[in-house]
Structure 1
Amino acid sequence: MQTPVPDYLKHVLSQCQRNVGGQLADYIPELAQADPNKLALALSTADGMIYSSGDDGHEFTIQSMSKPFAYALVLEQLGIEEVLQKVGVEPSGEAFNQISLDKELNIPKNPMINSGAITTHSLIQTTAGISRAEQLRRFLSELAGRELSFDEQVYTSEMKTAFRNLSIGYMLRTVGALDTDPVEIVNGYIQQCAIKVTVKDLANIARVLANGGLHPKTGECLLDRAVVRQVLSVMLSCGMYDAAGDWLTTVGIPAKSGVSGGIIGVLPGQVGIAVFSPRVDEHGNSVRGIDIFERLSADMGLHLMEGTPSAQTIIQSCYWAGKNDDVRVYELRGVLQFTESEMLLRNLQEEPPGDTTIVLDLTNLTLIHDVGARMLFEGVERLQQDGHRVVVVDSEGILSEAQMKGNKRVVVKEKLTKYLEKFQ
């Protein structure tokens, strides 16, 4: 059979194509020349499958959709606490290009508005001969899975009308938020916004965030999980500018828009979504793009506040093994976070004190959160205090070194069947 997902995406585009509201972002001369009828949608699952429809091969400039990833890059380079000294995380309630700062801290309110994004760009750590914009291009290329390039025409066009961003740059330099030449930083920021992407590129980039920073195919860690959480939190509260509250209630997906007509959205653990349609509203958000996201959220139950219940059980099976039936095996499945860990410990507390060997098999777990690992090993310690010998089978290496710290002695890396042969 053929999956119905592509047909569904085509249907959504056909329904939203009728919406002809909004205007091209004509304050950037080159964007005023865009084809207003272009329309594209791409969706990428956390495990790496991508679906797309419409003008999915059409390239456009990333514009403000670069902001979350510049933010992610500097968070990786400098750490969250250091970046928070320069850029806040509070929703501004103002237009994206407002010339303003936090009144108490005298820093930009968040990294999604232009003042915060220009400051963030200035924080990108560079090496000799490699500009900040080039650093970000390389980073986005790695996330997208292909080499991205700059649109020099859009960059040149935007520089001709960059008076407001230059004003923001000079303001930031005046208050000490920028340590270098504001013209150089604003130039780099505008070049950052001129990186060319397709909706498929953006969906691929978004899926790394959806996957907690891991590349879905290789398992390589491209972003620290704490950085992903920080970025998605700011996207949810600030990514759609002064329309963020309306977006949160109607769509409920962490997102970021760009005045070229794109919107990128991330539902943690599930999907990355990207849309493109050049006509934007008074907030700078794609009109058709909003329509598409509202339909996807409603039809597919993607609203973040519609969180699905945790698994009814973390225990796939529980049985006796060994020659004398003196080995108690718990095979676990799914994701081990607080709710599932509490459920597991509640079952383990039913084990009476004794000298039974208890085996906790992690083979079928897909993810262990830090809290899950802590609770798991706390359970191990308490079982040991009751006289049991406890072994954690981690043949797939799902536990990180940090999660195993102090508990490696109870972890074995061989397959469950191989380990149980010792008791035959």
Structure 2
Amino acid sequence: MRSPVSDYLAEVLEGCAGDTSGANADYIPELARADSDRFAVAVATLTGYVHGAGDTDVMFTMQSISKPFVHALALQDRGLPAFLDKIDVEPSGEAFNELSLEEGTTRPRNPMINAGAITTSTLVGEPDSTLAHRWERILGGLSAFAGRELEVDEAVFSSELETAHRNLAIAHMLRGYDTITEDPEAVVANYTRQCSLRVTTRDLALMAATLANGGVQPLTGERVVDPPVVREVLSVMTTCGMYDAAGDWVTRVGIPAKSGVAGGIIGALPGQVGLAVFSPRLDEHGASVRGVRVCERLSQEMGMHLMEAPAPARSVLRESGVREVDGIGTAHVYALQGMLQFAGVEQVLHDLTEEPPSTPQVVLDLSQVYSVNSVGRRMLREAVRRLGLDGLTVHVVDPEGMLD
């Protein structure tokens, strides 16, 4: 059977293709010359399968889409306290290339705007890393997110560096406040090089899926960064990834995202999918016009908005009732399923409290459970202990060792 997903994505592209408003980024000559009619969308699952439509194999440069991934590497290498010592995580409400710092601390306001991203690039690797070693770490790390070796588009790099006057001004401002301590021109060159990495829409969807998958690359199985790092990065993407349009984006789309001035947008929906869109014409915020429209439609039609997540408490308890169980006899069986977190486990404990088991034998069946977080695990262990204190015999069916 041919999957209908790619056909649906092609239909979405066709529905959004008529919007030809906006324009290519004109302050970077190579981007200004890009084909404005290129259009693609890709959705990557956490098993590594990529559905796509349009120009999914056309190469373009990451630009600011590199920021959340370098942010992740910096957090992985230095830790959150050291990172926050240099860069805040508050929305700026300003354009991405504004020459401004946080009043009082002189930190960049977040790692998604250029001042923060330039600083972030200096926090990758060990504190005594050279610029060359730091670049190798950035290149290797972003390649690990993509699942293949990435390369710099030298033409875009040269074009962008020749016109990087504003980023140089930002870097000199940062050096003036000792936020960075290295040569501003060398730092900007490294930053520009990361922005000039060539990717396809398919690559970006897999990179986003790595974030959605808790830091594990779906195709290679490599853990690129740890789960706490992913949580921090996705949080900042949600509040700051779309710059001064972040509030509107969260309201209308509701997916942690990042845009780039080459026309790409990524979105990472935790535990579900990574998505990417490519269309070079930009709006006044520096985001792809048609890309934003595609993301709005996917969010609405596919239920991808973060605030539409189903309540786990309603679906955790698959079965509750008395029946005959082989080797045990008559028992009250509680069969759980899915992901067990506080809300779902609390519902189970509420049921156990309000309607205690009607037989002395109790079976807690976790065979259909695929994940238990730490608080859920502690709550279930305590429930088993207290049922035992009440004189009941509890049999735990736990083939995957979820309570270990």
Matched, 1:115 2:115: yes
Q: Taking structure 1 as reference, are residues 220 and 160 closer, same or farther at Cα in structure 2, changes over 3 Å only?
A: closer
For 2:325, the equivalent position in structure 1 comes to 321
Matches within 5 A, 1:296-311: 296-310=298-312
3-state SS in 2 of match to 1:75: helix
For 1:285, the equivalent position in structure 2 comes to 287
For 1:8, the equivalent position in structure 2 comes to 8
Aligned-partner residue type, residue 18 of structure 2 = R
Matched, 1:367 2:371: yes
For 1:101, the equivalent position in structure 2 comes to 101
Aligned partner (choices 237, 246, 255) of residue 235 of structure 1: 237
Q: Taking structure 1 as reference, are residues 353 and 297 closer, same or farther at Cα in structure 2, changes over 3 Å only?
A: closer
Q: Taking structure 1 as reference, are residues 373 and 18 closer, same or farther at Cα in structure 2, changes over 3 Å only?
A: same
Q: Name the CA distance, whole Å, in 1 between partners of 2:74 and 2:215.
A: 15
3-state SS in 2 of match to 1:142: helix
For 1:203, the equivalent position in structure 2 comes to 205
For 2:336, the equivalent position in structure 1 comes to 332
For 2:43, the equivalent position in structure 1 comes to 43
The 10-residue stretch of structure 1 (211-220 or 339-348) with the greater mean CA deviation from structure 2: 211-220
For 1:347, the equivalent position in structure 2 comes to 351
Q: Name the CA distance, whole Å, in 1 between partners of 2:77 and 2:147.
A: 21
Q: CA deviation at 1:11?
A: 1.0
Q: Name the CA distance, whole Å, in 2 between partners of 1:391 and 1:190.
A: 60
Q: CA deviation at 1:59?
A: 0.8
The answer to whether the 8 A contact 1:383-1:390 is kept is yes
Q: CA deviation at 1:358?
A: 4.3
Matches within 5 A, 1:180-195: 180-195=182-197
Q: CA deviation at 1:276?
A: 0.5
For 2:86, the equivalent position in structure 1 comes to 86
3-state SS in 2 of match to 1:85: helix
Matches within 5 A, 1:151-190: 151-190=153-192
Q: Taking structure 1 as reference, are residues 242 and 324 closer, same or farther at Cα in structure 2, changes over 3 Å only?
A: closer
* Alignment root-mean-square deviation, CA: 2.3
**CA displacement, residues 330-352 of structure 1 (integer Å, 9 cap, x when unaligned):** 33211101221112212333445
The 10-residue stretch of structure 1 (104-113 or 339-348) with the greater mean CA deviation from structure 2: 339-348
The 10-residue stretch of structure 1 (70-79 or 377-386) with the greater mean CA deviation from structure 2: 377-386
Q: TM-score, normalised by structure 1?
A: 0.88
The answer to whether the 8 A contact 1:353-1:386 is kept is no
The answer to whether the 8 A contact 2:131-2:190 is kept is no
Q: Name the CA distance, whole Å, in 2 between partners of 1:329 and 1:46.
A: 32
Aligned-partner residue type, residue 67 of structure 1 = K
3-state SS in 2 of match to 1:123: coil
For 1:378, the equivalent position in structure 2 comes to 382
Q: Taking structure 1 as reference, are residues 352 and 359 closer, same or farther at Cα in structure 2, changes over 3 Å only?
A: closer
Aligned-partner residue type, residue 121 of structure 1 = S
Q: TM-score, normalised by structure 2?
A: 0.92
Unaligned runs of 5+ in 2: none
Q: Taking structure 1 as reference, are residues 82 and 353 closer, same or farther at Cα in structure 2, changes over 3 Å only?
A: farther
Aligned-partner residue type, residue 159 of structure 1 = L
Q: CA deviation at 1:326?
A: 6.3
**CA displacement, residues 177-232 of structure 1 (integer Å, 9 cap, x when unaligned):** 11222222111111111111101101111112222223446765433222211111
The answer to whether the 8 A contact 1:353-1:387 is kept is no
3-state SS in 1 of match to 2:335: strand
The 10-residue stretch of structure 1 (171-180 or 126-135) with the greater mean CA deviation from structure 2: 126-135
Q: Name the CA distance, whole Å, in 2 between partners of 1:5 and 1:88.
A: 39
